[in-house]
Amino acid sequence: MEITVLLSSPEPVYEQIVRQVQDAVASGELAPGAPLPTVRQLAGDLQLNRNTVARAYKQLEDRGVILTAGRKGTFVRDNASSEVERIKASRAERSVRHVVAALLGAGLSRAEIETLFRDALRVALPKETTP
């Protein structure tokens, strides 16, 4: 399993690492209990400052995705997958609320917003039947 970081991306590098580890956990590429490389190894391979990788690991640990067990190393938590799903759901909910607030602020009605969302879903998921 490989990760790629793009230094020219507007997304901070540590967040790119966090996102890709979370995606790997959510997709099952990183199974519960799977070991992760040390901060030194990952920082060396990506040619980044160790603090950047340490910050990403700290954030993943705070979110309950990984567990650092001292000298034994860093591992994916047993319930990491559900934590990642919860994080994703919460992020999606925030994004949708943000969009809805922006649309309401632009003067659109409830019916217009619903139509916009329905159309967007129809474009994004053409094979599925949308109400």
**Residues in contact with another protein by the rule CB under 8 A:** 1-8, 21, 24, 30, 35-38, 40-42, 44-48, 73
Least Cβ distance, residue 128 to another protein (angstroms):
33
Least Cβ distance, residue 55 to another protein (angstroms):
16
Residue placing its CB nearer to another protein in the complex, 9 or 109 = 9
Residue placing its CB nearer to another protein in the complex, 12 or 73 = 73
As a whole number of angstroms, the distance between CA 49 and CA 99 comes to 35
The residue among 5, 2, 1 whose CA lies nearest residue 53 is 5
As a whole number of angstroms, the distance between CA 18 and CA 126 comes to 31
